[in-house]
A and B are shown apart, each in its own frame.
Chain A
Amino acid sequence: MNLRFGRILATTVAIVVGLFILASTFVAEWPGEIFGLSGLINQVSLLFISWVTIVAAFALFLGFANVISVHWNRIQTRKPGALYSIVLLIALAATLAVGFLSGGPNSNPSQFIFDFILQPLESTFFALLAIFIATAAFRAFRVRNLETLIFVLFTVIVLLGQVPIGIYLWAELPVIKDWILNVPALAGVRGILLGVALGTIATGLRVLVGTDRPYTDQK
């Protein structure tokens, strides 16, 4: 088996599987039966999706193995930060032990880990960003031209419109904030979404017709 055969085989798998799934998307939207094949296409597509769900979950296990491998190597070679790797592996092992021994993520010990370790850490990391965003904005928000003036103006209006002090400054501020979010900001988001959707379709179709083959190492 040479490289060329492997490439053709992988490309064929991607195209056939992808076209089945794509066909099922349109079959679901179609009002009637298509040559008596609608049921078959749907069933095969669902089967493919259930396979991919398992494979994607398994891929996360491979990622988990990679995390362990990277940090284990760091400990063995005593690289800088080995102490942190030990802490990481202990935290990981403890969470796994609690999760599996207590019977899953809905058990009380697992909920304890989520409520008192994972959730506080996650929200504090995000909260910390508020301070850095504020300092970065203070440095960056120097009005140099009309565009930065527009940016700063709309940011300040939306910010003040969302806090109680905005109403005391000017009673109409929340109304203007709502209008900005519902009209010009929505128009911008809609335009961006249209561009993203077209880009996604173009990229997806390139994979489905075999022009792009990110699953092989060769072009």
Chain B
Amino acid sequence: MEAIGLLIAAVLTLMVFSYILGDNVLFKLAGHIFVGVAVGYAIVIIWYQVLAPTLTAGNLLVTAPALGLCLLLIFKILPDQGALSNMLGSIALAFILGVGAALAVGGALLGTLMPQISATTALSLNPAHYENGDSLAGALQWLSNFIMIIGTVGTFAYFTFAVRASGPLGGVREIIVRFWAGMGRVMIIITLGALFANTVSARVALLVSRLEFLAGFFGGFGG
């Protein structure tokens, strides 16, 4: 059975790689097989791991209102939407978005904003706080912390979208924002460069693993 599986995997892999020669029927077939199998597999997982356990648990307080909301959601996709069906569908959607928005706000505040601010403010620029404050290692630590603080504030300041300030202090504000945004721009370029390199590395590693698989498969036939 495993031999058949490996043969299928090898054929599908070659079908996808055929795109290197240009867009063709084999590549499109592989793409459509992928979508079909992925959708089918997702539905099986959702049924067995989310819906079936909840619906068969027998907790009416959970299932009855949820099924009611599911029915309301159907109204949202009806092709012919009147005012009533639109309203009923909107209630289910409002429920989902209300919960989603609240979870997003809580998650962003407690899961991202506060930990990231704490991590940045925990960095010290006082050499006395380092283990080897007076050595080269201490100087490098100080420099790293300095770049971290400047970089974080600068990148954050780069996303300043505000109306240009008028008045006597408007020019000063403009200079400060421009300075930090310029610093942030450089940090974003460095970050994107590093992220791009990481993405390329990950993709090349996958490419090598697929080529190794093909080499192993056809090598097995040769042996």
Q: Which of B39, B149, B209 has the most CB of A within 10 A?
A: B39
Tally of chain B residues near chain A (CB < 8 A): 117
Q: In the complex, A162 Cα to B203 Cα: how many Å?
A: 13
Residues of A within 8 A of B210 (CB): 120, 123-124, 127
Across the interface, do B28 and A215 meet the contact criterion of CB distance under 8 Å?
A: no
Residues of B within 8 A of A157 (CB): 197
Across the interface, do A159 and B200 meet the contact criterion of CB distance under 8 Å?
A: yes
Across the interface, do B98 and A121 meet the contact criterion of CB distance under 8 Å?
A: no
Considering only CB atoms, which chain B residue lies closest to A188 in the complex?
Answer: B191
Q: In the complex, A163 Cα to B205 Cα: how many Å?
A: 10
Say which residue of B16, B153, B200 sits within 8 Å of A130 (CB atoms).
B200
Say which residue of B42, B49, B203 sits within 8 Å of A60 (CB atoms).
B42
Say which residue of A60, A128, A158, A190 sits within 8 Å of B119 (CB atoms).
A190
Interface string of A80-124 (1 = CB under 8 A from B): 010011011111111110011000110000101111111011111
Residues of B within 8 A of A21 (CB): 98-99, 102-103, 106
Q: In the complex, A190 Cα to B31 Cα: how many Å?
A: 36
Residues of B within 8 A of A120 (CB): 9, 12-13, 210, 213
Say which residue of B63, B83, B155 sits within 8 Å of A187 (CB atoms).
B155
A186 part of interface (Cβ distance < 8 Å): yes
Selected interface stretch from B110-118, B131-139, B167-175 = B110-118
B176 part of interface (Cβ distance < 8 Å): no
Q: In the complex, A2 Cα to B86 Cα: how many Å?
A: 11
Residues of B within 8 A of A59 (CB): 73, 96
If A18-B99, A204-B102 touch, whether A51 touches B69 (CB-CB below 8 Å) is yes
Residues of A within 8 A of B96 (CB): 52, 55-56, 59, 215
Residues of B within 8 A of A133 (CB): 199-200, 203
Across the interface, do B97 and A214 meet the contact criterion of CB distance under 8 Å?
A: yes
Shortest C-beta distance, A118 to chain B (Å), equals 5
If A14-B94, A184-B147 touch, whether A194 touches B193 (CB-CB below 8 Å) is no
The secondary structure that dominates the A interface is helix
A191 part of interface (Cβ distance < 8 Å): yes
Q: In the complex, A67 Cα to B39 Cα: how many Å?
A: 9
Say which residue of B93, B100, B209 sits within 8 Å of A127 (CB atoms).
B209
If A3-B83, A92-B36, A187-B151 touch, whether A105 touches B45 (CB-CB below 8 Å) is yes
B144 part of interface (Cβ distance < 8 Å): yes
Q: Which of A96, A129, A162, A197 has the most CB of B within 10 A?
A: A197
Show 30 residue pairs from A and B whose CB-CB distance is below 8 angstroms, ordered by the A residue. A1-B83, A6-B90, A9-B87, A13-B91, A15-B98, A17-B98, A18-B101, A48-B99, A51-B69, A55-B66, A55-B95, A60-B43, A61-B46, A95-B36, A115-B9, A116-B5, A120-B9, A121-B16, A122-B34, A150-B186, A154-B193, A159-B197, A187-B151, A188-B187, A188-B188, A197-B109, A197-B112, A207-B97, A214-B93, A216-B94
Given contacts A51-B69, A130-B200, A154-B190, 5 further A-B contacts (CB under 8 A): A25-B103, A50-B62, A85-B32, A201-B105, A215-B97
Interface pairs A-B: 4 shortest CB-CB:
A191-B155, A187-B151, A188-B191, A95-B40
